[in-house]
Structures are given as structure tokens and as C-alpha cells.
Amino acid sequence: MQGLCCTGVSLAGVCRQGKVWISVFRSVQNARRASYWRKPVSSFFFCSTINYQLSTIDYQLRIMTNAILTFDLGGTNLKYGIGAMDGNIFYHGSRESGGKGEIAALTALFEQAAGEMQAIARKKRLKLAAAGVGTPGAVDADKGVVFGSSPNVPSVVGIPLKEILEKAVGLPVVVDNDANLATLGEAVVGGGKGYKSVLGLTLGTGVGGGFVQDGKLFRGDHGSALEAGHITIAINGRMCNCGKRGHLEAYASGSAIVQRANELTSELGSHHPHKFTKTKPVFAAAEEGYPPAVLAIEEAVQGLAAGIASLINTFDPGCIVIGGGVMFGMIQHWAELKKLTAEMVVDSLTGKTPILPAELGNMAGMVGAVIAARDKLGIRG
Ligand SMILES: [Zn+2]
């Protein structure tokens, strides 16, 4: 699955190119001169001259423009793309990652995806300057090493991932946590654009988080900050994927919602039991009034509200941005989510922190990886 989204050359990028502006000026002057001397066919000639000159400028811009490869590694898919300096992704694709496999197979996948994009870049006269990579797990962003655990892609833990990927794609690589990068993308060009600080939550199979202040990610001393899925919202509560109890992820993640809906189906002894395997049918069943699904979603909304309120009380962010696959179901329960959150936020922050849906969809991580690589390596257009 792949496609070209747009030209990928922003107006801001054009503005930065002094040479191009001179070229634009000369083109217009030449065109005006041409239209003056060829007055009888001026209108047509003027337009065609301009078009020709603009296509020449476009060509010049393309051979002068840096671009960044971007990768978003997940347990199911490796998403990848080519991004412009403003984070705009103008080519993207996806391959099955076989997340539990060996690192050698994963490296080969990166090589293949990079090869595909290098061919596109040559065709479009783009100069590839770096690659940004988002991965599950806590990341030491300076060393480019994943530490702790990464249940969905275990082979990336404890190896020199940055070095391995630099060899695979033939470019300088910046590695960071996927939820961190999704928050960075949303903060700079997505739902949180314009806010001084943005706290992002990604509701997927698990729950990830990130915090961006003044366009920069907050990482903590060990690179493990904002593991927001593992803040405790219930003492001795449900078992989390990490092996500890009562964490947000055990209530508001996609896997938790599915598991809870199935548990409640058994407990409530429904006459027409559903067996859920994905989140979307749970939301649909709740809409139809199926009691186990209604209860599972209610518990997820309550858990999410508790998590958001704790994060607002701790970080005082300008806004909360919520993304990930589960967000699309949660959007129907937004008013309830905001009401419950408000009940748990301290008085000094009441009504001050908007809770917003993400705007970049499943591209947020890839956009963030482009921005992270651009800023860390000081790449300009
Ligand atoms: Zn946990």
C-alpha cells in the first residue's frame, strides 16, 4: 500500500530558497517582456511562458531540496515514507514487519523500504539527508538504543539499533520512541499546533505518551519519560501488559477494551454473546446497547479520564492531544470524557486544558520522525 500524496514542496520551503526567488523574479520579467513584444497572442503566450518557467523552477527546486526518510516500526507493520523539511509526507508505504522476528529480518526490511524510496528520490531529484525512526520501547535517543522491554518488537532491545539502521539505509539515523514522535508531529503541525506545550496520548494496542515543550521533547534522565500507559489509576487494579497492576493501559488500550468486553460477556451471561477480537466492533456493539460492550467502554472512558486528569495535574500542558486507532471510537464519548476529566482536575487548572483529537492520523509518528531528524541533525531545506 503506497502512494503519492502531494508535491511535498511547501511555500515556506520555496521562500527559503533565495536563488529560486531571483529565478521567479526573472521569469516574471521575461514573461512580461515576451507578452509585450507579442501583443496579438499575449495572453496565451504569457501563460504558457509562465508555466514553462514555473516548471523549470520546480525542477530547480527539486534538485536543491533535502528530504528525510521516515520509518514507523510496529509489531504488525513497518510504515515508511519520504518527508519534506516541514514534516509533509509526500510518499508513503507499508510492509508487514513480522514484529517478533529476528533483527536480521527486520534490518532487511528497512533495506528494502529504503531502496524503494531511494528510487523515488532519484526520480524526483530529491537529496536524501537523513532518516528518522520511531520504535516501540524506551529509547536512549543519543545512543539510539532501545532499553527495558518492547513486547511487540522484542528484537530491537539492547542492540546498537541506530548503527545497524545507518548501515541498512546508508544515511544518518535518529531513533526515538514512537509515541514521543507522534506527539512531536501533532505538536508541531497537527492538533497541538500553536500551543506552547502539548501532552500527547496514543491509544492503540497499548497506550503511549509524549510531552513537547517549545517544540522539544521532554525525555527524563533515562529517556523513559511519559510512559503514560503505565501511570497507576487503580490500586491493585487490572493486570497490565507490563506485568504490573492498575495501569492506564489495562483500562484504555485497545487490547484492554476487547479483553474486558469478552470478560463481561461471560460474566453477564448474554443470550447472544459476541466474541470480540478488535476494538471497533466493541464500540459498534456499545452503540447498539449491548450491555458488556457498553460497560467495557464506560470503564475505558473512566480510566482514560483518570489518566488525563493526573497528567494535567502533573504537567499543566497547554492541551492534551489524543490519537491512535482507539481514538476514533472514543470520539463518540468525547463529552463524557471531558466531563469526567474536569471532575478530577485541580481547581487551579479547571477549564484551562482543552482535550483535542489528533489530526495526523496514523501518519503522526512518521511526521514526528522527520521533524526529530531535521532538528537533531540541523538539516535545512
Ligand atoms: Zn503497565
| Range 251-275 average pLDDT | 89
Question: Tell me, what's the pLDDT at 244?
Answer: 95
Q: Are residues 99 and 225 in the same domain?
A: no
If you measure from the C-alpha of residue 46 to the centroid of ligand 1, how many angstroms do you get, rounded to a whole number? Answer: 65
Last residue of a domain, one of 23, 46, 63: 63
Which of 43-57, 141-155, 209-223, 297-311: highest mean pLDDT? 297-311
* 299 and 321 belong to one structural domain: yes
Same domain flag for 54 and 79 = no
Q: Residue 149 falls within a domain, yes or no?
A: yes
> Do 373 and 327 belong together in one domain?
no
Range scoring the smallest mean pLDDT among 61-70, 214-223, 249-258, 323-332: 61-70
**Side-chain-facing half-sphere of 130: CA atoms under 13 Å:** 22
Task: Give percent of the chain above pLDDT 70.
Answer: 82
The rounded Å distance from CA 242 to ligand 1 centre is: 4
Residues 70, 51 share a domain: no
Same domain membership, residue 73 and residue 57: no
Q: How far is the CA of 239 from the centre of ligand 1 (A)?
A: 8
The answer to whether residues 212 and 171 belong to one domain is: no
Cell (9 digits) for 203: 491509544
Residue 1 lies in a domain: no
pLDDT band at 269; cut points 50, 70, 90: confident
pLDDT at 54: 40
Of 63, 87, 104, which residue sits at a domain end? 63
Are 97 and 75 in contact by the 8 Å Cβ rule? The answer is: yes
In the prediction, which pLDDT does 75 show?
A: 86
| Ligand 1 ion: nearby residues, β-carbon < 5 Å | 230, 240, 242, 244, 247
Q: Is residue 108 part of a domain?
A: yes
CA of 306 to the centre of ligand 1 (A): 15
Compute the distance from residue 316 Cα to the ligand 1 centre, in Å.
Answer: 23
Let me know if residue 236 belongs to a domain: yes
Ligand 1 centroid distance, CA of 348 (Å): 29
- Rounded distance from Cα 196 to ligand 1 centre (Å): 29
Ligand 1 centroid–CA 251 distance in Å is 10
Domain limits for position 56: 9-63
Residues 220 and 125 in one domain: no
Is 3 part of any domain?
A: no
The total number of structural domains in the chain stands at 3
Residue type, 306: A
Q: 231 and 352: one domain?
A: yes
- Tell me how far the alpha carbon of residue 138 lies from the centroid of ligand 1, in angstroms: 13
Specify whether 196 is located in the same domain as 314: yes
Q: How far is the CA of 354 from the centre of ligand 1 (A)?
A: 26
229 CA → ligand 1 middle, Å: 6
Q: Are 160 and 276 contained in the same domain? A: no
- Dihedral of CA atoms 206, 207, 212, 217 in degrees, nearest 10, equals -40
Which residues does 252 contact at the CB level (< 8 Å), separation at least 6?
Answer: 203, 207, 300, 303, 304, 307, 326
Domain membership of residue 4 (yes or no) is no
**Residue 268's pLDDT band (cuts 50, 70, 90):** confident
111 located within any domain: yes
- Give 320's strand partners: 199, 355
Structure confidence by residue, pLDDT tens digits, 212-225: 999 999 999 888 89
Distance 232 CA to ligand 1 centre (A): 8
Asked whether the beta carbons of 195 and 316 are under 8 A apart, the reply is no
> pTM, whole model, 2 decimals?
0.81
Q: How many whole angstroms from 221 Cα to the centroid of ligand 1?
A: 20
pLDDT, average across residues 242-256: 95
Q: Are 141 and 221 within 8 A, CB to CB?
A: no
Query: 49 C-alpha to center of ligand 1: Å?
Result: 63
* CATH code where residue 109 lies: 3.30.420.40
Answer yes or no: do 209 and 151 share one domain: no
With 80 as the cut, is the pLDDT of residue 240 above it? yes
pLDDT band at 274 (very low <50, low <70, confident <90, very high): confident
Is residue 2 assigned to a domain? no
Q: What is the mean pLDDT of the chain?
A: 85
Q: What is the pLDDT of residues 5-37, one digit of tens each?
A: 443 334 344 444 443 333 333 443 444 333 323
